């Protein structure tokens, strides 16, 4: 007897052979778009022309068997839950978690005298050489303190900046009322800013030096400055290790060394004016995390910030 073989065309095979669904996808929808058509097989497909509506598939928004997530539904997933320090978890192709925007560490020392906070997207100036002795020639010395503004020598109630450049920087960087940004004029006398000048003079020097390869440094706003407080830290200064390392001290002088970073356990200026009393500005105390206001003519510490890495 002669055996006769029958070969079915591909178009018929698609009708008679069972299709194997991808996990969470309705049967026949090979490209996972929720509708069965020629794009799935290039030929007549099982259930051709039908919708997956009412059937579980990747893209229906529900978490089905084998799926981590579906569209905006992360099923409670987070970057931390996936073993990262933080970031933004999203749903990727095939309803699998996309961790490309998660990060392994919140703070990253850039080895150029700057520290990036992945949580806020801000980059901070690094401080070093905490030996309780000011060194104004070193703009990054953690012991250097400055006034927010000075006082006119004749019109002593007027807050001021000592020169046009500092005044311009103050007007450009202040948050809220601009009291203290003007220069002394006419018979108001000269602006007294001893001993160490104002934070706006220091800021201009920082940008003139193109510190860390950037000249867009600014004095942080109060809400930005508060993000550096580590309220889980019981030991002053209560900030994160990237900003105050174990090797902080007199020998810590290299801003490019990730192990070398310092934060003074005291008040730091913000650019934010107290609206109810504009001769005062807001500060953050890194000895305990408190937020307070003081006269702009007092001397405290300051750390610069910029947006972006």
Q: Tens digit of pLDDT for each residue in 140-189?
A: 999 999 999 999 999 999 999 999 999 999 999 999 999 999 999 999 99
Closest CA to 204 of 154, 165, 239: 165
The pLDDT assigned to 26 comes to 67
pTM above 0.85, yes or no: no
Q: Tens digit of pLDDT for each residue in 100-118?
A: 989 889 999 999 999 999 9
* Rounded (10°) angle between helices 164-173 and 199-208: 100
Q: What angle do CA 85, 215, 221 make, to 5 degrees?
A: 55
């Amino acid at each position: 007897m002669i055996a006769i073989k029958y070969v079915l065309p591909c178009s018929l095979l698609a009708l008679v052979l069972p299709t194997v669904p991808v996990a969470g996808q309705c049967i026949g929808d090979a490209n996972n778009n929720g509708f069965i058509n020629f794009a799935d097989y290039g030929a007549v497909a099982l259930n051709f022309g039908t919708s997956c509506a009412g059937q579980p598939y990747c893209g229906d928004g529900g978490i089905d068997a084998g799926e981590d997530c579906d569209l905006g539904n992360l099923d409670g997933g987070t970057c931390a839950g996936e073993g990262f320090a933080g970031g933004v978890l999203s749903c990727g192709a095939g309803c699998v978690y996309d961790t490309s925007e998660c990060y392994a560490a919140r703070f990253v020392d850039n080895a150029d005298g700057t520290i990036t906070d992945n949580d806020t997207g801000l980059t901070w100036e690094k401080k070093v050489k905490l030996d309780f002795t000011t060194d104004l020639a070193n703009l990054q010395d953690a012991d250097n303190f400055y006034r927010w503004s000075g006082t006119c020598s004749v019109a002593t109630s007027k807050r001021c900046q000592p020169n046009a450049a500092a005044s311009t920087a103050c007007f450009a960087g202040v948050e809220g009322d601009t009291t203290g940004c003007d220069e002394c004029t006419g018979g108001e006398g000269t602006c007294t800013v001893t001993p160490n000048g104002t934070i706006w003079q220091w800021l201009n020097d920082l940008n003139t030096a193109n510190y860390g390869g950037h000249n867009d440094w600014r004095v942080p706003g109060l809400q930005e400055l508060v993000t550096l407080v580590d309220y889980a830290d019981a030991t002053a200064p209560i900030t994160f290790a990237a900003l105050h390392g174990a090797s902080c001290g007199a020998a810590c002088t290299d801003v490019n060394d990730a192990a070398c970073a310092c934060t003074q356990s005291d008040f730091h200026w913000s650019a934010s004016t107290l609206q109810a009393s504009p001769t005062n500005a807001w500060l953050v105390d890194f000895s305990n995390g408190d937020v307070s206001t003081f006269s702009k003519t007092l001397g405290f510490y300051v750390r610069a910030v910029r947006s972006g890495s």
